[in-house]
């Protein structure tokens, strides 16, 4: 008879059992002690508060100025107001349900309902993300700043012709129905693209491809501005655009380095590669334009820089400085072609090149991340086919849902201003104000 059974029959097992149980429990207890409980880190929290402010600055006033300077004088206030109004609307939507559905545990496609109206978000609660020792409140507002800028970027495509009421509705519906699900797919641990291994460090897919494709659909559905292709539509003040671009560039450090959710080496590397890609892309676009047109333009220089920032966004936490330079070079050329040749080929009036820069730059960055991501930086390897799946899924979903949102808004309030409003300018008709 085996010794174990014999011992059990004799009752000695009963005396040995507690000791056996103790032997089993002891390693577990020791292991639990080796993993310290998550607790708030002041340095990380301080950095994340700053990063959030930087990302919000990218919209207020970064995008507002960037876009505002590029439209005609009669639409400057309207364009800038749209960015500010979008920030306000998306904030409320995020509070109402966006945060819960985007970031909380749910299923592969959408998050849970445990933070509707931010209910349950306690003062002392942590973010709940592995490795993130920051308060949940900070995490929530950091992610909000991403939702805001993504929605604001879309407005560049329908500039100078969409009703203000339609813009407000679009901000609410698009941020909830398009941005939130995609954010969950990519950034929530149970999101299906995250489970697949798609890499998107700071939002190349969630933010830029999403906004770019949505912008293209908006431009197609709403139609071109009156006189598009025949009349010169001169930017009102490119100095505003350059100022806005500079704010975007600096704010992007919060965007990419802040996505580390900590003040650590990875954040530092993300900041470095962000700067490298922006510089490389800006100079590349500038050189391309110099070659084609005979002289470099200020708008081209900053557009290239923004294109590089877009492209490095998904890669920022995964690539080396050398890879960032390559991303910048490719993005500079890619976004230049996207805003010129591709735009002419598509033939639709994406007024401020939301697709040409953000869509194309996002695709370039997402795909290059699959090739250039290295475990030495981000601890993971990239796969081109997985990245392609993420790009395709996001583009398809964004296109379809944006179309449905636009059709719904058209039924409710109508999308486009009338001809006389477009001629007189949205500033004076929609807002009763004008730039001197």
Partner 1 sequence: MEPDSVLYGLLGRIHLLMRRVANRITDVEYMRANKDYAREIVRLGTATGNPELAELCRRLRQAMELDAPEAPAAPPRSEEAPGLLDRLRTGRPSATHPTERYIGSLR
Residues within the interface to partner 1 (CB under 8 A): 70, 73, 227-235, 291-295, 297, 299-300, 303, 336, 339-341, 343-344, 351-353, 356
Cβ count within 10 A of residue 39: 8
Query: Taking the complex as a whole, how short is the minimal distance between the CB of residue 52 and partner 1, in angstroms?
Result: 31
Which CB atom, from 293 or from 431, has the smaller least distance to partner 1? 293
Query: Taking the complex as a whole, how short is the minimal distance between the CB of residue 32 and partner 1, in angstroms?
Result: 58
CA-CA distance, 356 to 157, in Å (whole number)?
Answer: 10
Does residue 332 contact residue 280 with C-beta atoms inside 8 Å? Answer: yes
Which CB atom, from 66 or from 249, has the smaller least distance to partner 1? 66
Which CB atom, from 118 or from 233, has the smaller least distance to partner 1? 233
Query: Taking the complex as a whole, how short is the minimal distance between the CB of residue 370 and partner 1, in angstroms?
Result: 26
Which CB atom, from 71 or from 89, has the smaller least distance to partner 1? 71
Backbone angles phi, psi at 34, to 5 degrees: -70, -25
Query: Taking the complex as a whole, how short is the minimal distance between the CB of residue 416 and partner 1, in angstroms?
Result: 20
Which CB atom, from 141 or from 352, has the smaller least distance to partner 1? 352
CA-CA distance, 144 to 139, in Å (whole number)?
Answer: 8
Examine residue 61 and say whether the peptide bond preceding it is cis (omega within 30 degrees of 0).
yes
Query: Taking the complex as a whole, how short is the minimal distance between the CB of residue 356 and partner 1, in angstroms?
Result: 8
Backbone angles phi, psi at 261, to 5 degrees: 60, 20
* Three-state DSSP class for residue 126: strand
Q: Which residue has the tokens 């639709």?
A: 348
Q: Residue 113 carries which DSSP code? A: S
Query: Taking the complex as a whole, how short is the minimal distance between the CB of residue 286 and partner 1, in angstroms?
Result: 12
CA-CA distance, 346 to 202, in Å (whole number)?
Answer: 28
Which CB atom, from 138 or from 351, has the smaller least distance to partner 1? 351
Query: Taking the complex as a whole, how short is the minimal distance between the CB of residue 67 and partner 1, in angstroms?
Result: 11
CA-CA distance, 75 to 411, in Å (whole number)?
Answer: 25
**Of residues 294, 159, 167, 168, the one with CA closest to residue 236:** 159
Which CB atom, from 14 or from 292, has the smaller least distance to partner 1? 292
């Amino acid at each position: 008879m085996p010794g174990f059974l014999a011992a059990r029959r004799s009752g000695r097992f009963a005396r040995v059992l507690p000791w056996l149980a103790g032997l089993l429990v002891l390693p577990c207890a020791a292991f639990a002690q080796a993993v310290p409980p998550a607790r708030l880190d002041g340095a990380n929290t301080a950095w994340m508060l700053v990063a959030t402010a930087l990302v919000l600055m990218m919209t207020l006033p970064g995008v507002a100025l960037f876009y505002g300077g590029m439209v005609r004088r009669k639409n400057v206030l309207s364009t800038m107001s749209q960015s500010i109004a979008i920030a306000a609307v998306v904030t409320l939507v995020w509070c109402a349900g966006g945060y819960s559905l985007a970031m909380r545990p749910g299923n592969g496609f959408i998050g849970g309902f445990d933070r509707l109206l931010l209910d349950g978000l306690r003062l002392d609660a942590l973010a709940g993300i592995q490795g993130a020792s920051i308060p949940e409140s900070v995490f929530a507002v950091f992610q909000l700043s991403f939702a805001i800028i993504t929605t604001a970027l879309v407005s560049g495509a329908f500039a100078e012709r969409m009703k203000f009421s339609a813009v407000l509705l679009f901000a609410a519906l698009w941020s909830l129905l398009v941005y939130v699900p995609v954010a969950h797919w990519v950034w929530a641990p149970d999101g299906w693209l995250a489970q697949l291994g798609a890499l998107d460090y700071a939002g190349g897919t969630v933010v830029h491809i999403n906004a770019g494709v949505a912008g293209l659909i908006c431009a197609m559905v709403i139609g071109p501005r009156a006189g598009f292709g025949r009349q010169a539509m001169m930017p009102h003040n490119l100095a505003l655009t350059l100022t806005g671009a500079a704010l975007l560039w600096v704010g992007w450090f919060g965007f990419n380095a802040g996505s580390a959710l900590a003040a650590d080496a990875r954040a530092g590397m993300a900041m470095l590669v962000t700067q490298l890609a922006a510089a490389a892309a800006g100079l590349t676009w500038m050189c391309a334009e110099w070659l084609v047109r005979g002289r470099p333009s200020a708008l081209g220089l900053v557009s290239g820089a923004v294109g590089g920032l877009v492209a490095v966004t998904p890669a920022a936490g995964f690539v080396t400085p050398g890879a960032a330079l390559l991303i910048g070079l490719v993005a500079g050329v890619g976004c230049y072609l996207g805003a010129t040749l591709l735009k002419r080929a598509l033939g639709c009036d994406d007024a401020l090149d939301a697709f040409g820069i953000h869509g194309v730059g996002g695709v370039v960055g997402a795909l290059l991340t699959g090739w250039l991501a290295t475990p030495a930086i981000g601890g993971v390897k990239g796969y081109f086919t997985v990245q392609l799946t993420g790009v395709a899924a996001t583009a398809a979903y964004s296109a379809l849902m944006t179309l449905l949102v636009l059709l719904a808004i058209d039924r409710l309030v109508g999308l486009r201003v009338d001809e006389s409003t477009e001629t007189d300018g949205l500033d004076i008709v929609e807002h009763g104000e004008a730039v001197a």
